[in-house]
Amino acid sequence: MSEPQYVRATTIDEAVAELTNASGDGLIVAGGTVVCTLFNQHLASPKVLVDISRIPNLSDVEVADNGSILIGALVTHDQVLRSLTILERVPLLNEIAGGTSCARLRNRGTIGGNLCTIGSQGDAATGLIALGAILHLRGPTGVRVIPLESFYADEFTIDLKADEILEKVELPPIKQNLKYGFCKLGPRKAMDWTQITVSVVFDGSGKAMKDIRIGMNGVSNAPSRPLKIERWLEGNEADKIDRDALAIVLNEEVAPESDLVYSGQFKKRLAGVALRRALEHAIKKPKTDIKGE
């Protein structure tokens, strides 16, 4: 394998231009936690390696004038964990970051890199899907905006063109009375690949759940939003869910594959357990005093 040409981009436009010139044979590197693994295992051999780690503004967490939260693609998991803006407005992401990998990898791994390379794993994607995240993708013709839930086509197949980079993640304004819950299940909490991850967000202003959104990982080849189970849960009281009925509906919607750790059938059972625990965590939390609408 020949060594790639290394380019350190100083602007987003420069990074996009380098990817365009590479004609589909370029690769972005930021934190490097995934790219280094790909190189070590001879799974990637790009002609051009474009380093975006020094581009200004991609490491910022901001609140827009309309109340939306903008998270730069280079924001690390450790930044998410320590950000007062995220803690005050979207504490779900703070909770997820606290159980992501280990301190060393949280310090290097970025949100953008995680979303673009996670395959069927990745905790942050579940929370961002549940929160209605939108991705800003920059290419040679400008910015393209898509919902995160539409970003994943299959395992390691994403809606990102060869000459595009993920610039930032946008979260719509957070409403008051938001309830959230998160659960991850696997052999270990951090250093192993998570088997099942579930994030739940809903309007908790009354007894019945409203505007519920769910993000799940490990139940299909890519992070997903289970719309059928959302519709079934809408209007129900979170602490009075029929477990058997929930399992039946969920089993009709998810189809996890067996692996060296668990069978697909056992993963279905775990998915139901994780969803129930996420709901239980949500109802046990006091109503959030979120700075938002």
Say which CATH number the domain at 9 has: 3.30.43.10
Residues 161 and 206 in one domain: no
Q: 56 or 146: whose pLDDT is higher? A: 146
Q: Which of 252, 210, 214, 245 has its CA nearest to residue 230?
A: 214
Contact assessment for residue 196 and residue 185, using Cβ atoms and an 8 Å cutoff: yes
Q: 197 or 154: whose pLDDT is higher? A: 197
pLDDT for position 3: 82
Q: Which of 75, 101, 104 has its CA nearest to residue 90?
A: 75
pLDDT for position 287: 54
Asked if residue 139 belongs to a domain, the reply is yes
Strand partners, 63: 69
Strand pairing of 165-171 and 69-72? antiparallel
pLDDT higher than 90, residue 260: no
Asked if residue 291 belongs to a domain, the reply is no
pLDDT higher than 60, residue 190: no
pLDDT for position 97: 92
Residues 17 and 92 in one domain: no
Asked if residue 56 belongs to a domain, the reply is no
Asked if residue 73 belongs to a domain, the reply is yes
pLDDT tens for each residue of 68-125: 999 999 999 999 999 999 999 999 999 999 888 777 888 888 999 989 876 545 789 9
pLDDT higher than 90, residue 67: yes
Domain count along the chain: 3
CATH code, 118: 3.30.465.10
Instruction: Give the least confident one: 86-100, 259-273, 277-291.
Output: 277-291
Mean pLDDT (whole number) for 207-232: 93
Contact assessment for residue 269 and residue 250, using Cβ atoms and an 8 Å cutoff: no
pLDDT higher than 50, residue 293: no
Q: Which residue has the tokens 């625990």?
A: 277
Residues 81 and 46 in one domain: no
The rounded mean pLDDT for the chain is 88
Boundary-marking domain end, from 138, 171, 204: 171
Cα gap 167→121, rounded to integer Å: 21
Q: 37 or 47: whose pLDDT is higher? A: 47
Residues 144 and 159 in one domain: yes
Cα gap 258→120, rounded to integer Å: 12
pLDDT higher than 90, residue 155: no
CATH code, 209: 3.30.390.50
Tokens of 126: 């579940």
Tokens of 111: 């949100």
How far from 10 is each of 14, 56, 58, CA to CA, in Å? Answer: 7, 8, 11
Mean pLDDT (whole number) for 53-75: 95
Residues 102 and 160 in one domain: yes
Residues 141 and 161 in one domain: yes
pLDDT for position 39: 74
Residues 74 and 19 in one domain: no
pLDDT for position 23: 93
Boundary-marking domain end, from 128, 145, 171: 171
Boundary-marking domain end, from 32, 51, 70: 51
Contact assessment for residue 90 and residue 61, using Cβ atoms and an 8 Å cutoff: no
Asked if residue 289 belongs to a domain, the reply is no
List of E strands, 88-177: 134-139, 142-147, 152-154, 157-158, 165-171
Residues 26 and 74 in one domain: no
Q: Which of 182, 252, 185, 242 has its CA nearest to residue 213?
A: 182
Domain holding 114, by residue range, is 61-171
Residues 122 and 202 in one domain: no
